[in-house]
Structure 1
Amino acid sequence: MLIEGLCQEESPRFRNFFHVPPSKRGKEECSMKKSLLLFALVLLLAGCASTGNQAAPAGGTPAGSPSEEPGLTAGAPEKMTCRIVDGAEEGELVLAGPGGAGDVYTLDTEGLAVDGTLADGAVVEVGFDGMILETYPAKFGHVTGVTVLEEPADDRCGLYLQVLSDLWEVDTALNTGLEELGVDLSGLTDLAESEKSALAWVFGNAHGLMPITGTLEEIWEAGYLTPMTEPTEGYEDSVALYRWENGCLFSLSGSAEEGFEAQKWASGLGAYFFTDCTARQNADGTWTYEVGAEAIA
């Protein structure tokens, strides 16, 4: 055998590491050499095995393989029909999706293939890889193109955004220095729930605040309001006795065709109203409106 043959001559590689006394250099010496050679073979085999199983670096990706970001796996190609709520002129779209409340998306169209003319209120079809980034508003994964499906647009979201902006500018003491912004669009009958969510987000974002959506009673019950006084003995508690110290609630109700109301509320003693509002749609899909009367509380 190879090991026995090598035992006939002392290996200079191990001579300086293991020394056997001269009186025991017979079988003991050969046995020692066999042990040393077996030890060397084990080391050699271990070294070969280690080269084929390199440890992963701290990032968890094996050396030499491409890295992948978690959660970015593309799905099957899809198309989604949305309405442009805002941002068509700048190309930074806020979109209301086909789902219910909260189904809101943002999309930067720079560099994208767009079939048709983008306009606020237009219905578009977004082609993408099937992946949705779970932010709020949500974002599409890889977008392959945008197609305009409906022309002219129906920009009634733009109408209501203008009403909210005009309401903000009157009696500004009610909404100066806000830390919380309430938006109640539940009374509008001509918008989808996703369109209401998108409109509320656009309005809040314009003022640097994330909107709190809900009716005045819901916001009261949620604990946002502070009592101004206690109810008179024998009377029940009422939201009219409260104020929103660092907030203001903006509300719309009605429809563009049949008329609508608008108000902002900061307390039972601080509110402003647009009443008996009427609207008219222009040929390009935009809307204009008139306020029938204004009131203050």
Structure 2
Amino acid sequence: MELRQLQYFVAVAEEGGFSRAAERLGIVQSAVSQQVRRLERELGVPLFHRSTRSVGLSAAGERLLPEAHAVLAAARRTRRVAADLASGEGGLLRLGTVQGPGDRVERLLADLAAVAPSLQVRLRRLGLADRLAAVRSGELDAALVRAAVRAPGLELLPVWSDPLYVAFPADHPLATAALAPRLEHLADLPLRLAPRAANPPFHDLVTETLRAAGAEPLLGPPFTTLQETLAEIGGGAASWTVFYEVTGVPSFPRVAVRPLAAPALTTSLVVPPGPPGPALRRLLSVLP
């Protein structure tokens, strides 16, 4: 059974004759008659009562006409969906995401919805290693990552940059300095940094920036959570930490928090190599 045969059957039924159906379809009458005959042979039932004066639906034709309408409507919907997929208007984008800072991700998704309102976006929050592995395997179409400068087998597209912050004892001279601090200004204090395995790109950003400035990192107790780490900086032996904003910049007793002069924290979109698919093209078109 072909869609064309159903289309011709519906046209004959609606027009009440083969010649008028042929005119509507823009083809010769013999082609319409031939295809309807083939459909009747395939189905094993007559669809029309034919006479020299009129053509009318048989009982079987009346029963099958709504089904033919439904099939043709489904075919039209399928073509529309396929066209949306090809243009990036519809379909599904699977995006690995990060939390914060601010409303960056929400604004990106709003911009995407404005240009592709029918595109569905499925967000997944995974650890960094799992995010990259999911893009490599095709489980994700793309993923946002922070501080990464390399991702073997993938492409990194910088999207936005945000300031980094340092937290250190409030009685340190940098707390009231006129200029924004730099990492090397605090290098004589123990640095509270999460183990490299927890976040290799961020760990490398901090330690390599210190080394580039001629300061070897003096690693102290590890960073745990921001609240716990700030409490220890404010109430324990002198130390400091580096962090980025997720849900706001905190304030803590006896702790100074200041934005760094450099480096900034870059968030990138990691994508598979090669030409992007339609949904990913739409995302790329709204990147800042």
| TM-score grouping bracket, smaller chain normalisation | under 0.3
Greater per-residue strand proportion:
1
TM-score, structure 2 normalization: 0.23
- Choose 1 or 2 for highest CA Rg: 1
Higher helix fraction: Structure 1 or Structure 2?
Answer: 2
The higher relative CO (CA closer than 8 Å, separation ≥ 6) is in: 2
> Structure 1 length normalisation: TM-score?
0.23
